[in-house]
Each structure stands twice: as structure tokens, then as C-alpha cells.
Amino acid sequence: MESTNSETKNKQLVLNLVRFSTSISRADIAHSSGLIKATVSSLMAELIDYEFIIETGPGESSGGRRPVMLTFNKDAGYSIGGAYIRTSNSAC
């Protein structure tokens, strides 16, 4: 299934919020990103399926249900970059 441009941007946003936090809840992600909780949960489910995000267990609660804390999986994958430069040897 292909992602729309806005879905891709939202995934990047929530992934970066998790990546640059030691541990964060879905509610904190929704609050920080401005996305609704249902959208955050949907994006997190996909990122967890791809093993980019790990659920680390319950967090502290100030009352009510304890949040499930999330962290970035540093072993999720690697990328490699490169450049190809074409030069011309034509005579003038």
C-alpha cells in the first residue's frame, strides 16, 4: 500500500519525535505533533510492525490508565548513500 504525501510526512514527524526522545507515549506524541490520537496509533502500529519502534512497557501515570512507552529501535536498519556523476568528454 502506497502512502500519501501527508501520511509520509506524518510518519516522519512521529518517527523523529520517538527517535529524539528516550521514551515517549502515544499521548505525548499526539500532543507534541498536533495529530489526533487515532492517527498517532495508526502510524505507530505500522512503525511497530516494521520494527522501527519498540514498545518498552508501561510508563508512569498521574491517574487513570498507564501509557505504553515507545522507543526507537536503533537496530531497525541502515541506509547507504551515494552519488553518480556523469562527465562529458566531447570536443568543442
Evaluate if residue 85 carries a pLDDT over 60. yes
**pLDDT tens per residue across span 26-76:** 999 999 999 999 999 999 999 999 999 999 999 998 888 999 999 999 888
Measured from the Cβ of residue 71, the count of other Cβ atoms closer than 10 Å reads 16
Given this model, what pLDDT does residue 92 score? 58
* 8 Å CB contact between 53 and 70: yes
Across the strands, what pairs with 53? 72
**What's the predicted TM-score (pTM) here?**
0.75
Residue 5 and residue 50: Cα distance in Å, rounded? 19
Evaluate if residue 87 carries a pLDDT over 80. no
Could you tell me where the beta strands, DSSP code E, fall in 1-92? 24-25, 53-58, 68-72
* 8 Å CB contact between 73 and 52: yes
Evaluate if residue 82 carries a pLDDT over 70. yes
CA separation, residue 48 to residues 1, 12, 37, 62 (Å) = 16, 14, 16, 26
**pLDDT tens per residue across span 3-22:** 688 989 999 999 999 999 99
